[in-house]
């Protein structure tokens, strides 16, 4: 296992976790750091004729996060920024570009003087363990293959592959990555002999998550355009090695067998339908002629040809996954919604409970599918980043609900609430105050309105409504993917990447 120490670079340049072995001057050689564009950084490392681009980011802050990590006083590694060790330039509309990495180099003193662009060369006080040798021709720097004085570290871990990622056409997750260091680059090598250089943010994420576009998916969730020219040829190839580049040199996970199935589309179109018993169709015209399709949705659903049939399906969003039984092509997904015009809940005693004639299963499904609640004139989204105004398990109205630091209920004692739920065509409206609540049901289009009145108290609920998980219709019904993600998915993940 390689060891890493932390030192200070000269001229106010702090390079955390840089290992050194000797004096910074070695004969006519001098050692320092340079801002090396990705294309130059990877030029001598890869068997790939397509240069590696800079990373364009539409987000406002993540591309700026280039502070390097360090070992804390408590002996624990403190991660750097999401783009640790990179350099950048500001773009338009708050976005920017990550141009490359700031990495140690070795250069002859005479050649350094010849450079027309010294690329922010900052001399180091010690010779680094790992560095890029620099030669100069016609006043321009050329960077050789990285010199790793300690030799390549062999990693013992594992890699999983997914072609159903939000962040690119392919995503790999590597367990057993180099610890206590920043990752400056990653090289993905294939059995077919092509290498791919990865970059911060668009490709490299924390905890061994790496993704890239190969010409099918155009944008990732934040709207950043994926640069795919360097990676297009990866389709249909098999990953054998993943090499991480740190300030301590190479660390490689070898002996992998990660097939990258051929991509032909980012998604498929599936029509929506009514809940209960019925069927919907999907567009199978995008499937290649030799694609042997197998479709899956959830319990209670069957797929035959391009038809998805179901029995006793609850309202909500569903995902159809179509996979190639021959294994050549990537799986593809499409989302669809099953709807109803029924409202299976009513307001009673401070909570939403099952309406007359509705089952506990119907009410539980409605609660799980609540997407937004409007209080007065202000709308609050539900979900992980929204405000919890109605408890998704008990139906209780949370009078102490907050949106950020703001109280949803201002203490006036009388409120009109409008509830929206995915799969339910009509919104549910009711008023609460210290005396009674009046409930109404309205259609989303607001073209017609049916009103029913119920007098209830706003006393906080003291009982918990039972809820049995429906066989189908649970919001966000998930299916097995080829990629093993960390608990709760999406991380990614990943991934990743929220402003």
Quote the number of domains for the chain: 4
| pLDDT tens for each residue of 295-309 | 999 999 999 999 999
Give the domain extent around 388.
Answer: 345-451
> In Å, how far from its chain's centre is CA 12?
35
Whole-number pLDDT of residue 383: 86
Please name which of 270, 269, 278 lies closest in space to residue 472, comparing C-alpha atoms: 278
The dihedral of CA 107, 109, 111, 116: what is its sign? positive
Helix, strand, coil proportions of the chain in percent (round to 5)? Answer: 5, 40, 50
* pLDDT confidence bin for 118, thresholds 50/70/90: very high
Indicate whether 143 and 28 sit together in one domain: yes
Indicate whether 210 and 282 sit together in one domain: no
- Does 17 have pLDDT greater than 90? no
| pLDDT tens for each residue of 408-456 | 998 877 899 999 999 999 999 999 874 444 445 554 443 344 444 444 4
* pLDDT confidence bin for 385, thresholds 50/70/90: confident
Residue 435 belongs to some domain of the structure: yes
Residue 61 belongs to some domain of the structure: yes
Question: Where does a domain end: 259, 291, 326?
Answer: 259
- Does 61 have pLDDT greater than 70? yes
Residue 95 belongs to some domain of the structure: yes
What does DSSP assign to residue 362?
H
- Does 485 have pLDDT greater than 70? no
% residues pLDDT > 70 (the chain) = 81
Indicate whether 225 and 290 sit together in one domain: no
Whole-number pLDDT of residue 489: 38
The dihedral of CA 379, 381, 385, 391: what is its sign? positive
The dihedral of CA 206, 207, 208, 213: what is its sign? negative
Tell me how far apart the alpha carbons of residues 241 and 248 are, in angstroms, rounded to a whole number: 19
| pLDDT tens for each residue of 183-197 | 999 999 999 999 999
Residue 311 CB contacts under 8 Å (≥ 6 apart), including other chains:
277, 300
Whole-number pLDDT of residue 60: 66
* pLDDT confidence bin for 223, thresholds 50/70/90: confident
Residue 264 belongs to some domain of the structure: no
Indicate whether 282 and 357 sit together in one domain: no
Indicate whether 127 and 180 sit together in one domain: no
| pLDDT tens for each residue of 137-172 | 999 999 999 999 999 999 999 999 999 999 999 999
What does DSSP assign to residue 15?
-
Indicate whether 377 and 437 sit together in one domain: yes
Indicate whether 84 and 115 sit together in one domain: yes
Question: Where does a domain end: 297, 322, 339?
Answer: 339
> In Å, how far from its chain's centre is CA 194?
26
What average pLDDT does the chain have?
A: 85
CB 108 within 8 A of CB 87: no
More confident residue, 207 or 26: 207
CB atoms < 10 A from the CB of 356, how many?
A: 6
More confident residue, 223 or 264: 264
Rounded average pLDDT over 224-246: 97
Tell me how far apart the alpha carbons of residues 149 and 490 are, in angstroms, rounded to a whole number: 38
What does DSSP assign to residue 177?
P
Whole-number pLDDT of residue 130: 98
Residue 495 belongs to some domain of the structure: no
Rounded average pLDDT over 279-306: 97
> Does residue 130 sit in helix, strand or coil?
strand
Residue 477 belongs to some domain of the structure: no
More confident residue, 397 or 11: 397
| β-bridge pairing 96-108 and 55-57 | antiparallel
CB atoms < 10 A from the CB of 258, how many?
A: 21
H helices of 350-485, in order, are: 360-368
Residue 499 belongs to some domain of the structure: no
Strand-pairing partners, residue 252, are 154, 243
Strand-pairing partners, residue 50, are none
CATH code, 159: 2.60.40
Indicate whether 358 and 396 sit together in one domain: yes
Q: Which of the residue ranges 5-19, 57-71, 323-337 has the most confident prediction, judged by mean pLDDT?
A: 323-337
CB 415 within 8 A of CB 433: yes
Indicate whether 50 and 87 sit together in one domain: yes
Rounded average pLDDT over 322-333: 97
| pLDDT tens for each residue of 82-96 | 899 999 998 777 788
Indicate whether 85 and 184 sit together in one domain: no
Indicate whether 334 and 349 sit together in one domain: no
Indicate whether 186 and 116 sit together in one domain: no
CB atoms < 10 A from the CB of 190, how many?
A: 21
- Does 380 have pLDDT greater than 90? yes
Residue 429 belongs to some domain of the structure: yes
């Amino acid at each position: 296992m390689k060891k890493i120490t932390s030192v200070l670079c000269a001229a106010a340049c702090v390079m955390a976790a840089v290992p050194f072995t000797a004096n910074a001057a070695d004969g006519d050689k001098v050692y320092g750091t340079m801002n090396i564009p990705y294309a130059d950084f990877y030029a001598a490392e890869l068997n790939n004729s397509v240069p590696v681009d800079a990373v364009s980011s539409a987000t406002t802050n993540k591309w700026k996060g280039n502070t390097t990590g360090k070992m804390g006083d408590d002996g624990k590694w403190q991660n750097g920024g999401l783009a640790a060790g990179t350099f950048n330039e500001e773009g338009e509309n708050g976005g920017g570009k990550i141009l490359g990495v700031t990495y140690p180099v070795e250069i002859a003193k005479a050649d350094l003087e010849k450079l027309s662009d010294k690329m922010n060369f900052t001399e180091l006080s010690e010779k680094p363990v790992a560095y890029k040798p620099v030669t100069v021709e016609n006043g321009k720097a050329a960077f050789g293959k990285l010199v790793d004085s300690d030799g390549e570290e062999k990693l013992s871990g594992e890699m999983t592959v997914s072609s159903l990622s939000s962040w690119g056409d392919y995503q790999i997750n590597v367990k057993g990555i180099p610890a206590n260091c920043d990752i400056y680059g990653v090289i993905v090598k294939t059995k077919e002999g092509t290498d791919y250089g990865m970059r911060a943010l668009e490709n490299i994420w924390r905890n061994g998550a790496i993704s890239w576009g190969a010409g099918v998916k155009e944008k990732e969730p934040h709207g950043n355009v994926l640069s795919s020219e360097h990676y297009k040829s990866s389709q249909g190839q098999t990953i054998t090695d993943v090499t991480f580049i740190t300030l301590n040199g190479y660390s490689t996970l070898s002996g992998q067998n990660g097939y990258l199935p051929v991509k032909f589309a980012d998604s498929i179109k599936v029509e929506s339908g009514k809940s209960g018993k019925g069927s919907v169709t999907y567009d199978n015209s995008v499937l290649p002629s030799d694609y042997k399709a197998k479709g899956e949705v959830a319990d209670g659903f069957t797929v035959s040809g391009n038809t998805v049939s179901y029995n006793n399906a609850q309202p909500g969003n569903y995902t159809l996954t179509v996979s190639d039984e021959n294994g050549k092509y990537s799986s593809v997904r499409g989302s669809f919604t099953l709807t109803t015009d029924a409202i299976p809940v009513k307001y009673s005693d401070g909570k939403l409970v099952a309406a007359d004639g509705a089952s506990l299963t119907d009410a539980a499904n409605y609660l799980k599918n609540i997407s937004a609640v409007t209080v007065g004139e202000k709308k609050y989204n539900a979900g992980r980043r929204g405000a919890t105004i109605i408890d998704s398990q008990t139906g209780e109205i949370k009078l102490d609900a907050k949106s950020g630091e703001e109280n949803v209920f201002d203490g006036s004692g009388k409120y009109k609430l409008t509830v929206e739920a995915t799969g339910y065509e009509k919104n549910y409206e009711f008023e609460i105050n210290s005396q009674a609540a009046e409930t109404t049901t309205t259609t989303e289009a607001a073209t017609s309105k049916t009103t029913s009145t119920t007098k209830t108290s706003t006393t906080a609920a003291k009982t918990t409504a039972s809820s049995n998980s429906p066989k189908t219709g649970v919001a966000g019904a998930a299916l097995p993917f080829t990629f093993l993600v960390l608990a709760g998915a999406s991380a990614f993940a990943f991934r990743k990447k929220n402003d």
